[in-house]
Structure 1
Amino acid sequence: MSSEVAIKVEGLSKCHQIYEQPRDRLKQFVLPRLQHLSGQPVRQYFSEFWALKDISFEVKKGEAVGIVGRNGSGKSTLLQIITGTLMPTAGSIVTQGRIAALLELGSGFNPDFTGRENVYLNGALLGFSASQIDARFDAIAAFADIGQHLDQPVKTYSSGMLVRLAFAVQVQVEPDILIVDEALAVGDALFQKRCFQRIEKLTSDGTTLLFVSHDQESVRTLTNRALLLNKGRSASWGLSSDVILQYRKLLHEEESAYLSGLARELTDRANTSSFTKPHSSELVRDFQASSSTKASSQGARSRRLSFGDGGVKIDKVEILNEEDVPCLVFSPGERIRIKVSCVSSVSISKLNIAVRLRNKEGVKIYSWGTLNQDMTERARDSVAPVFWDQHFDAGEVFHVILDCACDLGENLYEVQASVSLEETMNYMHQRMLHWLDEAAFFQVSIKRDEYFFGGAVDLKMRATW
């Protein structure tokens, strides 16, 4: 291997043996030998799972390389093999220089030792003498910045304190190869900033970096080349910007496939779902009489997704573009139209049709309904009609379209829909008739070369000078 290469991986594969039952492991250890000796066909009592399959790449000394991919794609397995804590099934790997790794939180620490004792223990594992650690100890303690806790057992540390100390040890001993696997995610923002500054200094001084993170911008910023893993195989290798683009496309394709399947499932649910039995009241008795035969047909699935007193039911929620064509993927600035179709089982008015948008992290991004618009019209003394005054007869089907500009950041969004009875036009006396979770989904994808911003929403900032 060339002296300019720090890491060389050739045809690397890792297979795990998966046993359905514990006794199958014993069978695999004993029976194949007996079957071979007796001339019988040799049987395999496990299934194979290839965590990695035929991975090859080179990392030059002083180069910063990112490794990206979805959970379960093989990133951590690859790093464990590189560090020597896991043996490959096939292929080879050669490294040159001292390796410092931050893999699993707290790995390499003795929980009963103090932080100070663990500093010397980790230093010894990295090949440093006590005197060499003495010379670096003050810098390690200052970077970790955990104060008097340095002389307390590590088992009393929080996750943030643990990663502070671990990172401080690894970077202050100035390794030839530094491997970081999502360990910095538990640190606070200020500590992460200091870590990234330190990593940049190490790479500029010639340290080779392998950096694994789900934060695509960190990978793009810290590394110059990257490897994309998908289901244990190499999907892309090259410039970080190009690999991150391929990663985004991969996520987009998988999310689009997921959304399509979810949309079909939600359509089936909407066609077959029933409604929870209502509570007693004049309104509810009317509904109960009109729908008693339907209310018993569907059980747990309907109750899991919806609740309410009844009287009006959300029949379907559709996501449309500005041409009123069903659409699941939007770009910022495009119009998005949410069509809520309802059916009334009673004679009723004073309704509010509303939606709530949540991103895939579960954060509520926005909620709004027809009552919000009605309240604004009344506050302005407008003569425009309000939805709250609309009257619907038993058996009537009606639709409401909620229209807006899609000024949202790149993400996957869930639409929750509801129809409520509002005795007053101020949300103070509300009865929920039907609430529906997972009513619809859509995705926002940014066209980076045309219009780009970061964050949850587009504030449409402008610059002047």
Structure 2
Amino acid sequence: MSSNEYSIRVNELGKRYEVYATPRDRMKQFIVPALQRLSGCQPSSYYQEFWALQDISFEIRKGEAFGVVGRNGSGKSTLLQLITGTLAPTVGTVETNGRIAALLELGSGFNPEFTGRENVYLNAMLLGMTREEVEVRFDKIASFADIGAHLDQPVKTYSSGMLVRLAFAVQVQIEPDILIVDEALAVGDALFQKRCFSRIEKLLSDGVTLLFVSHDQESVRTLTHRAILLKGGRAVSMGTASQVLLAYRKLLHEEESAYFAQLTSKPLNDGAASPIGSDKKENLVVLESSELTDKELVQDTPLGRIDQLSFGDGGIEVTSVKTFNRDNEPCSVFYPGDVIRIHVECVSHLETDCINVSVRIRNREGVKIYSWGTLNQDMQILAGLREGDVFWKRRIHVGERFDVRLECDCTLGPNLYEIQAAVSYEGRPDYTAQRLLHWKDEAAFFQTLIRQDEYFFGGLSDLRMVAKW
């Protein structure tokens, strides 16, 4: 890639901190090694090394939207600070082309004693604008921030939401070549977030490069083209946004499972326990209790060899997901008003109850449209809002194959839809004690079309509006 084709280039980047046990060790490090070098001795170290970031390399093309995901402490904010130049790297290089606008920390660059108006001028001029340019754009900045009379109050009196409103309003008005956003928008209210995302989409359409950090997976999927996943300061996955977010969900699931494993003290039944991947059926554990431990959940099962689109603790597997029409005929194209039937087939490798089979539907743009499962219906039955058998109480046996048929009216706008399927163990019938046994991305697809001349509407979903006069 030539230099004029990229906005950001990161090469073998690393940031190391020196961690001292006591202030005395810090003082020793300042004095003793220098004296040892003068005397020809090997200098001593009085600190421990901590690498907040290590061996990070990627390139972002001009006009590309790039996401950064990872748990707290994974190195996301450090990476952004290195790119913006507020931190100096220990090793490696960062190259950027163009004016950068960065929204990293609430109120960064603001003087708490100055008013909002004064800080707008101060912040914008620090970002390279002249006073005349600020005056031309000031009304737009004030309108976007929408904090009213508080604009002439000291910033130290602002709430976190007001701070981020003002900061974002300034950053997007400097017409950046690169916009860097780090979680700050999460503190805004829903209306302000909508306004921010609309503005970001406008900047992207104008060719601005976006580097976006968020824990909101749907926002990353919707706004970015590619992404990187960080763990412990290192890159563990990089690729399309959907691929990286799947790896992120797997990582979160693995860490959650490890956490619950530490809490689990219930021993395995006698004769239990073959490791994942064993092919001997006689090693399967038959559970006599509805309480599943981590070790019991990951017995001999095909999930020991999880494919790229699946993850989970194992124990019960989603084998297939199919869509049918009102007449139970296989169908993958629906029109508003049709009935959509989704059949989720599963096979169990253990004996248990407390199971939930669910689906999530996303459109082509990656936006989650709907999620629902058998537990949602069970909760209504248990609350006395509807009648029927509670699936959560059903006993499922080793080797049993079972299917769940989910049905709904098609109220979706024209698009291509992905069905994600999952089977989970629910310790309580309220989604507060969930263990994911098997999650399957891209389990099935279907398309919705619209008949322009008889049943037409615009948008994601049909609200079945009526007109009266």
TM-score, scaled to structure 1 = 0.64
Gaps of 5+ in 1: 270-315, 340-364, 381-400, 418-437, 453-461
Structure 1 Cα separation of the partners of residues 240 and 117 of structure 2: 40
Q: In the alignment, residue 65 of structure 1 is paired with which amino acid?
A: F
Cα deviation for residue 463 of structure 1 reads 9.7
Structure 2 Cα separation of the partners of residues 324 and 200 of structure 1: 43
Q: List aligned pairs for 1:102-181, cutoff 5 A.
A: 102-181=103-182
Q: Which residue of 1 aligns with 2:400?
A: none
Cα deviation for residue 47 of structure 1 reads 0.6
Contact map agreement 1:259 1:328 (CA 8 A) in 2: no
Structure 2 Cα separation of the partners of residues 88 and 128 of structure 1: 27
Q: Which residue of 1 aligns with 2:75?
A: 74
Mapped pair 1:442 → 2:442: no
Give the match's secondary structure for 1:73: coil
Structure 1 Cα separation of the partners of residues 262 and 130 of structure 2: 59
Structure 2 Cα separation of the partners of residues 20 and 8 of structure 1: 36
Deviations 1:158-198 (A, max 9, x none): 11111111111101221111100000000111111111110
Q: Which residue of 1 aligns with 2:3?
A: 2
Judged with a 3 Å threshold, the aligned counterparts in structure 2 of structure 1 residues 324 and 445 are, in CA distance, closer, same or farther, namely closer
Q: Which residue of 2 aligns with 1:213?
A: 214
Cα deviation for residue 207 of structure 1 reads 1.0
Q: In the alignment, residue 442 of structure 1 is paired with which amino acid?
A: R
Q: In the alignment, residue 443 of structure 2 is paired with which amino acid?
A: E
Contact map agreement 1:331 1:447 (CA 8 A) in 2: no
Q: List aligned pairs for 1:205-284, cutoff 5 A.
A: 205-262=206-263, 265-267=264-266
Please provide the CA RMSD for this pair: 4.0
Q: List aligned pairs for 1:92-111, cutoff 5 A.
A: 92-111=93-112
Q: List aligned pairs for 1:409-448, cutoff 5 A.
A: 415=427, 442-443=435-436, 445-448=438-441
Give the match's secondary structure for 2:443: coil
Structure 1 Cα separation of the partners of residues 434 and 123 of structure 2: 49
Structure 2 Cα separation of the partners of residues 194 and 175 of structure 1: 18
Cα deviation for residue 402 of structure 1 reads 4.1
Structure 2 Cα separation of the partners of residues 165 and 410 of structure 1: 42
Structure 1 Cα separation of the partners of residues 136 and 463 of structure 2: 52
Judged with a 3 Å threshold, the aligned counterparts in structure 2 of structure 1 residues 195 and 91 are, in CA distance, closer, same or farther, namely same
Structure 1 Cα separation of the partners of residues 462 and 142 of structure 2: 44
Which one has a bigger Cα radius of gyration? 1
Mapped pair 1:47 → 2:48: yes
Mapped pair 1:337 → 2:353: yes
Q: Which residue of 2 aligns with 1:197?
A: 198
Judged with a 3 Å threshold, the aligned counterparts in structure 2 of structure 1 residues 134 and 28 are, in CA distance, closer, same or farther, namely same
Judged with a 3 Å threshold, the aligned counterparts in structure 2 of structure 1 residues 259 and 148 are, in CA distance, closer, same or farther, namely same
Cα deviation for residue 255 of structure 1 reads 2.6
Judged with a 3 Å threshold, the aligned counterparts in structure 2 of structure 1 residues 136 and 325 are, in CA distance, closer, same or farther, namely closer
| % identity of equivalent residues | 60
Judged with a 3 Å threshold, the aligned counterparts in structure 2 of structure 1 residues 324 and 252 are, in CA distance, closer, same or farther, namely closer
Give the match's secondary structure for 1:70: coil
Mapped pair 1:318 → 2:291: yes
Q: In the alignment, residue 353 of structure 2 is paired with which amino acid?
A: R
Cα deviation for residue 33 of structure 1 reads 1.7
Cα deviation for residue 416 of structure 1 reads 6.7
Structure 2 Cα separation of the partners of residues 180 and 411 of structure 1: 35
Q: In the alignment, residue 447 of structure 1 is paired with which amino acid?
A: K
Structure 1 Cα separation of the partners of residues 30 and 405 of structure 2: 60
Q: Which residue of 1 aligns with 2:309?
A: none
Cα deviation for residue 119 of structure 1 reads 0.6
Deviations 1:65-99 (A, max 9, x none): 11111111111000001111100000111111111
The alignment covers a number of residue pairs equal to 337
Q: In the alignment, residue 292 of structure 2 is paired with which amino acid?
A: I
TM-score, scaled to structure 2 = 0.63
Contact map agreement 1:12 1:56 (CA 8 A) in 2: yes
Contact map agreement 1:7 1:59 (CA 8 A) in 2: yes
Structure 1 Cα separation of the partners of residues 161 and 183 of structure 2: 13
Q: In the alignment, residue 265 of structure 2 is paired with which amino acid?
A: L
Q: Which residue of 2 aligns with 1:395?
A: none
Judged with a 3 Å threshold, the aligned counterparts in structure 2 of structure 1 residues 325 and 212 are, in CA distance, closer, same or farther, namely closer
Structure 1 Cα separation of the partners of residues 201 and 108 of structure 2: 24
Structure 1 Cα separation of the partners of residues 34 and 162 of structure 2: 51
Judged with a 3 Å threshold, the aligned counterparts in structure 2 of structure 1 residues 198 and 230 are, in CA distance, closer, same or farther, namely same
Deviations 1:259-314 (A, max 9, x none): 3333xx33269xxxxxxxxxxxxxxxxxxxxxxxxxxxxxxxxxxxxxxxxxxxxx
Judged with a 3 Å threshold, the aligned counterparts in structure 2 of structure 1 residues 119 and 73 are, in CA distance, closer, same or farther, namely same
Give the match's secondary structure for 1:72: coil
Q: In the alignment, residue 449 of structure 1 is paired with which amino acid?
A: E
Deviations 1:137-165 (A, max 9, x none): 11111111111111111111111111111
Structure 1 Cα separation of the partners of residues 232 and 90 of structure 2: 17
Cα deviation for residue 256 of structure 1 reads 2.9
Q: In the alignment, residue 319 of structure 1 is paired with which amino acid?
A: L
